[in-house]
Amino acid sequence: MTPDPAPNDEAKPKTEKSRPPGWIALVLADWARRWPAVFGKPAPLAIGFAKQLHAELKPEFSQKAVRLVLHRWTTRRGYYQAVERGDPRRNLDGGEAGLPDEVSRALARTALAAIPHKTANANQAAPLNRRPARRKTRKRPPNPDKRARRLYSRPGAFS
């Protein structure tokens, strides 16, 4: 009886976890090429923009992937600055879709305050809130008597 041939890797569907590490930056570069009015210079996106974009990209991207890329786009400093300034919102075709309301502008102001500024010297970056380092404990040397007792106490060990 012959074993089944190995499954072809190309036949497997690509999952969200099998994407390369920098895939979001590549997707944003592609979107900037396809929709320069929206993804060229940061501008506030229209309400419901994710649904418009997903409808346009349905066979290529899942809704989760579209949301991930849009999250990366909308949490950039430039995007928050555009919302805070009150730049007009953009549809997928680049047309205006109203202005950000005061609540959106206030949220953008708060988000901008939370983003640390880049410093002139990379060594003077803002400290991260990390857990304190764990103290290293000394490891005791192994006890040879304990190991010998364990080996010799097993029934039938040396019969």
The verdict on residue 5 lying in a domain is no
**Is residue 121 pLDDT above 60, yes or no?**
no
Q: Are 31 and 39 in contact (CB under 8 A)?
A: yes
The verdict on residue 144 lying in a domain is no
Give mean pLDDT, residues 108-120.
Answer: 82
**Tens digits of residue pLDDT in 35-69:** 998 888 899 999 999 998 999 888 888 888 889 99
Output the domain CATH number for residue 33: 1.10.1710.10
**Tens digits of residue pLDDT in 137-152:** 777 777 777 766 766 6
The verdict on residue 38 lying in a domain is yes
The verdict on residue 82 lying in a domain is yes
CA distance 4 to 8: 12
Q: Are 61 and 106 in contact (CB under 8 A)?
A: no
**Tens digits of residue pLDDT in 8-35:** 444 434 455 567 778 888 889 988 999 9
Residue-range definition of the domain harbouring residue 26: 20-117
The verdict on residue 130 lying in a domain is no
Instruction: Please name which of 44, 38, 41 lies closest in space to residue 85, comparing C-alpha atoms.
Output: 44
The verdict on residue 15 lying in a domain is no
Give mean pLDDT, residues 103-130.
Answer: 75
Counting residues of the chain whose pLDDT is more than 90, the rounded percentage is 25
The verdict on residue 11 lying in a domain is no
- Specify the pTM: 0.61
The verdict on residue 127 lying in a domain is no
Number of domains forming the structure of the chain: 1
Average pLDDT for the chain: 78
More confident residue, 105 or 117: 105
- In this predicted structure, what is the pLDDT of residue 16? 52
